[in-house]
Structure 1
């Protein structure tokens, strides 16, 4: 009598059959997870917001267990995000959903327009700038005024112009 062994990959979160192994990296660490298609779509959706707001940075580290450069794993993560974008982009003449948060470029421009002339043109934005923007939209100028008084965000010349 012949014997046959059948291996079936199950979703690590739900235990459902017919899952596929997906790789991603975050914080310099590489991960693998077995997910069904709906689980994979959920992962893409959850990461999309952060990937869109972040900057892509290549890493040169090597993952010891697999010998894969982290840049390869980052590329896999980027592919995952690209797939999510394609799935979430509206088809045809549909308008994309309104985004509550302004883009980093819009925040920089708003800050510049408000007199914050020391904001860097690239890189991370100060958390305080996002807070100032959000509060300003609600009619509260206190955080913006704090930033205008702070030499890290505003030069003396710009401070004189804004008053």
Structure 2
């Protein structure tokens, strides 16, 4: 018997149900974020003046995976400080990987 699996995306900003994954790039780094229709519209609205003034550049597709861009030490130290703060607040957070958006929001509100 075949089974159907449904994937529900969660908005990385507010935890609501996301409707799409949005990709963008800044300073040579690519990002992907899951957003609800409302939040993706807000993102596009904020970026629109910059996109319309920018020069378009097509992406080059390669057959091999791109080389990892090393993160600056300051980023690592900042993430470690966020993890330490979150643990001190009793929040569950892993030692590695992406820091959940709700933890980042709480950290920003308190700093």
User: Above 0.5 in TM-score?
Assistant: no
TM-score for the superposition, normalised by structure 1: 0.32
Comparing both structures, which one devotes a greater share of its residues to helix? 1
Q: Which has the higher contact order (CA 8 A, sep 6+)?
A: 2
